[in-house]
């Protein structure tokens, strides 16, 4: 029995190592070399090479014309689109995202935790929005430095939050050192007002307000956010209109999520 368990555990670890290679690809890292993947995953170079060859043979990775850089293949992309299309909360939230973005001349979106990042699962951008960056659906942003990440942390029980913060501080010490003063202030405001506000401390010239949507039936939280240039979201507007709107939407979507 012990040998069977050990074998199953080895297979699981192998699978997780292969998945860790696939997770290296994102909007920023669209093409990566074996050396890049070794650096990102900390997996030995020969092992990374074998994984890449296997993943390429099954269509999950492809190479560029030089045969030195790997990119996501169609098999992997189809899985991503399938996951997004079957994300029920996104279906319910779509009209709210459109309403938020258009009302506040902003970008509104929903994120989901993926390791130490928050992945954008849906978003809507007002036609005349001006932002300092333009993250698309599927992009992953660090928990440590984003309002969505702070909203996720705020949704956790204190012991769980402390464990995640310890992991972030260990694996991303520079990011966490940069974020800690602003995060502490944002968490205090969340406890007081029920929303996370990040205004220019990390992302210069950009204000983001976020709130977690927490299911009462599942151990999961999906932060809802609204981002715009700072001048478009003054404090008075956040207090009187945006924060109440986010709270109402979060309550509505919490019911939809809990009914799944």
- CATH architecture of residue range(s) 87-258: 2-Layer Sandwich (3.30)
In this model, does residue 1 exceed pLDDT 50?
no
Radius of gyration (Cα) for the chain, nearest Å?
20
In this model, does residue 3 exceed pLDDT 60?
no
Q: Return the pLDDT at 122.
A: 86
Looking only at the bridges linking them, the beta strands covering 221-229 and 107-114 are antiparallel
**For range 182-188, the mean pLDDT:** 95
98, 122 contact by CB (below 8 A): no
**For range 157-166, the mean pLDDT:** 93
**For range 129-143, the mean pLDDT:** 75
In this model, does residue 42 exceed pLDDT 80?
yes
**What's the pLDDT tens digit per position in 76-135?**
655 555 555 445 566 678 888 999 999 999 999 999 888 888 988 888 888 777 665 557
Q: Token pair of 78, please?
A: 């189809």
Q: Which of 81, 67, 70, 65 is nearest to 22 (CA)?
A: 70
Q: Token pair of 172, please?
A: 């991303």
**For range 137-153, the mean pLDDT:** 90
Q: Return the pLDDT at 204.
A: 74
Instruction: Give dist(CA 43, CA 8) in Å, integer.
Output: 20
Instruction: List, in sequence order, every residue forming a beta bridge with 141; answer none if it has no partner.
Output: 118
Integer angstrom CA distances of residue 217 from 172, 221, 254: 31, 11, 10
**What's the pLDDT tens digit per position in 211-252?**
999 876 556 788 999 999 888 899 999 999 999 999 999 988
Instruction: Give dist(CA 187, CA 116) in Å, integer.
Output: 18
Local confidence band at 75 (pLDDT 50, 70, 90 cut-offs): low
What 8-state DSSP symbol labels residue 135?
P
126, 102 contact by CB (below 8 A): yes
Would you give the distance in Å from CA 90 to the centre of its chain? 14
The residue ranges of every structural domain in the chain are 2-79, 87-258
Which of 23-27, 117-121, 156-160 has the highest mean predicted lDDT (pLDDT)?
156-160
- CATH architecture of residue range(s) 2-79: Orthogonal Bundle (1.10)
**Phi then psi dihedrals of residue 199, to 5 deg:** -125, 85
Q: What is the DSSP string of 220-256?
A: -EEEEEEEEEGGGS-HHHIIIIIHHHHHHHHHHHHHH
Q: Return the pLDDT at 197.
A: 95
196, 77 contact by CB (below 8 A): no
């Amino acid at each position: 029995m012990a040998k069977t368990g050990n074998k199953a555990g080895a297979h699981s670890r192998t699978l997780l190592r292969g998945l860790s290679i696939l997770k290296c690809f994102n909007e920023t890292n669209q093409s990566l070399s074996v050396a890049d993947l070794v650096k990102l995953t900390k997996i030995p170079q020969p092992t990374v090479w074998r994984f890449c060859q296997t993943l390429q043979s099954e269509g999950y990775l492809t190479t560029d014309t030089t045969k030195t850089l790997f990119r996501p293949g169609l098999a992997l992309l189809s899985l991503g689109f399938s996951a997004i299309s079957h994300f029920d909360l996104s279906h319910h939230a779509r009209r709210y995202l459109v309403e938020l973005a258009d009302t506040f001349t902003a970008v509104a979106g929903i994120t989901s935790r993926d390791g130490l990042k928050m992945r954008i699962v849906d978003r809507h951008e007002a036609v005349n929005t001006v932002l300092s960056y333009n993250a698309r659906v599927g992009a992953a942003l660090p928990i440590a430095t984003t309002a969505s990440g702070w909203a996720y942390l705020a949704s956790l029980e204190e012991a769980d939050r402390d464990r995640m913060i310890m992991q972030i501080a260990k694996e991303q010490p520079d990011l966490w050192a940069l974020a800690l003063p602003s995060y502490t202030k944002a968490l205090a405001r969340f406890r007081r007002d029920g929303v996370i506000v990040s205004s220019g401390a990390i992302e210069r010239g950009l204000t983001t307000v976020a709130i977690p949507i927490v299911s009462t039936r599942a151990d999961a939280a999906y932060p809802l956010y609204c981002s715009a240039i700072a001048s478009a979201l003054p404090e008075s507007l956040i207090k009187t209109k945006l924060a109440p709107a986010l709270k109402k939407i979060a309550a509505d979507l919490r019911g939809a999520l809990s009914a799944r």
